[in-house]
Structure 1
Amino acid sequence: MRKPSTSGLKEAGVRARRLARVALVCGALALVAVLVMVGLRGAWVLLVAVGGLAAAAAGAWWTLARRGVVRLLGAALVLAAVGAVLAFLVSSGLWVPAGTALALWATALVCADRALRLTRPVAHMLARVSPRPERAVLIMNPRSGGGKVERFDLVARAEALGAEVIVLDTGTPQDVAAIARRAVADGADLLGVAGGDGTQALVAGVAAEHDLPFLVVSAGTRNHFAMDLGLDRTDPARCLDALVHGVELRVDLGTVAGRPFVNTVSFGAYAEIVQSPAYRDAKAGTALDALPELLAGEAGARFTAEADGVLLTEPQALLISNNPYDTRDRLGGGRRPRLDTGRLGVLGVRLQNAAQAAAVALGGQSAGLTELTAREVVVTSAEREIPVAVDGESLVLLVPVHCALRPGALRVRVPRDRPGSVPTGLLRNWRRLGTLAR
């Protein structure tokens, strides 16, 4: 892809300014609608809304953590809480301003999201110009993302740009890391992957070992790593532009028991559930069946984690990420602002009752959540080995399990022109939107 022209950048700036203005106006009107409701019915509006959310969260907890009659009662409470809020809005004549407020707020978020994307806020990580690779080797999984390799004609497009493509034979087990090492031995000066995050991590580890550039093609299902690199997840073919018009980012690479990971390592409930053979065909049913015992500590391996001296005793779930996710703003969670901080993100969950679940749902502080960063995390258990989910892949690892980070170990080659990722914490970016609107 060619470098965007000055006129193209100017046009994008104009669109971003207009969208930012629409977002601010819609956000202000949504607030006015809420104030109108409060003026008509006083604090009852807020009381009903907060109470309904807390009751729904408590019901959801009982649905997940209990069986039999209690589970049925929990599900009934969720439905009753939602129904009570809707009934209150209808009976009090507030359904019109409530619906208007929700529609305006949704419009504000969509416009704000688009405006921030157009300004390409991915410059947190320093990009440097690097020479075009002479012998790029791309490994492609034809089954990833429901067949994106074929749907976007990635093999032909990559070969047209001078890359050598290795298509995995999904009919037999493949040692992806070994394939990547053979490519390096044959003279590859860039390694790339069109596949899921688990495959990305294995090849990224080989690229880091040999200090070679690594190219990410967003052909997986969720493509979390590609998203946080600012790549286009809707059109994987755009990632191939890095072969011709590319720059390099130096990012961190996580390791768990010596195995590389680019996104997350999970212990506890999720790691136990994905071990089940039934999970692939019936995810929701398998999770509902397993969660009560897992949350109560009656099933699964109990473990303790130490993160730079901080002890997390027997959490129900533990998520360790390659750089911390931004979770301070519920609307902006699920993304990592940077991949080069040299710190692991650590999120421990130990919810013991419905009140803690409700506190989490309301966005407040809860004793059931522990969030911090660390350079190293060590997970221990009385068991000899415990289930672990690494970038979505189900594994069983020997205890103790060491999680660490290799700062700046991975050279990622990305297109010079890429969509960018929306800055996390959208509610904290209204000031930036205001500046953009002016």
Structure 2
Amino acid sequence: MHRRLGAEFVTDWNKNELYLNDAKEAIDSIKDMEVRGKVTSLQEDLFNHVKNRDTAKADKVFKELKVIAKTQTERLGKTTATVLNYYRFRGNGHRYREIERIEEIPAAKQYNFPAEPGETTEDRVELLLAMADWKEKEFQDRMKSEIVEPMNTASSIADLCKSYDIDSSSYVYDKFGTPVELKDPLFAFGGGAPNNILVKPRFGPPKGYQRALAKEKEGMKKMGDKWIGLRDLNRVTFELEDPLMLTLAYKALMKKYKVSGLKNKFEWVHTTTYKQPPDIHMDLDLGEGWLVEVQLMFASVLTVKKELHKFYDVVRAEKPQAILSPLFKVAQTIEAVKDEEIERMRKMMESAEVAHKMNQRRESGTASAWGEGAGERIKELEGKLAAWKTWAREALEKFEDSPEGGLIDDHFSSRLKKERVPITKKHFLSIKNDCYRPFL
């Protein structure tokens, strides 16, 4: 299937920065701690109602959880689209440019065991699961030795391309003729100095019999009761932070394996929402027709996917008993929530400071034309910067009034709005030095 050319990148530096600032804020908001707390509380109520055989109350809470789950899946779909801009617009867009152009390949059928007289769907699913168990070690060993290790140990883009017989001419220089680094700190996991990790393998756990059987029957129903054979019984997600490495991982897999199916879930237009987290989804022939699943996905998009799955469990649930166990970790202390709020505040301060500098450039006439609504966005971010400064000064004054420790009002989480959170002197000084010093 031919894909249209990828969307044009915004070349105006100011617009790119606005996209990036929004994307960074979206990444920080993936896990809504307030919603998580509410879901956990409702699940506890649901568990008690079911345990006490109070069907009416259980059904009421179940419906409330369904509403929350639907709202969150919609929110995270929009968040995904914004998060993706973090990968689109970092640098000059050179590293992302080929992803949306990757062409799709129609899916093939899974290894087809000869049918036996009287053999049931249940029998064949059990046979497939056993086959997957026998193949798992080979699958993991090959993915690590043939993809992960060569990519993580390569010394340069040219070296990496050479190991897979990939033409490197399109990758060693960007569109401005600037040499492209293999391990650019801008694209390192977690930011900062590169740590030689370009790709992380996340192998999927064995699929259970009941889930495998249900999925096979769902597929057969769509195909007129024809046997389909599951293709994801051995599976891995390659987590990447660098868009160029995602492209090269795709090309490496194309060189090393027979690809029997490929879906490109990245939209070539800049959509405002995603029903599924975007990735490159591939079916590889491990040998003798046995198909395995490989997904190439950005790190922050994988975080969205994990959060989405929690709410998908609620959306898919047909009865209260299906979601009695807590979806999220119960041991979420006030201090842990506080730390997350502090980190979010620090990043938003950085965004506001960038916006402030951009506004200065605009007023001095050194910045080019702004997109619609950019001026309002600048004012909003500058307002946040002023709020952070005020909060930091107040917090500093409170702490200095109590040399051995302090209490800081939390203004940033409605869940903790009335709480007063004790912190240590060492903790506070660390916060002050890391976050507030440039702004006080």
Larger Rg: 2
Q: Which has the higher helix share?
A: 2
Determine if the TM-score, normalized by the shorter chain, exceeds 0.5: no
Q: Which has the higher strand share?
A: 1
TM-score range, shorter chain: under 0.3
With normalisation by structure 2, the TM-score equals: 0.22
With normalisation by structure 1, the TM-score equals: 0.22
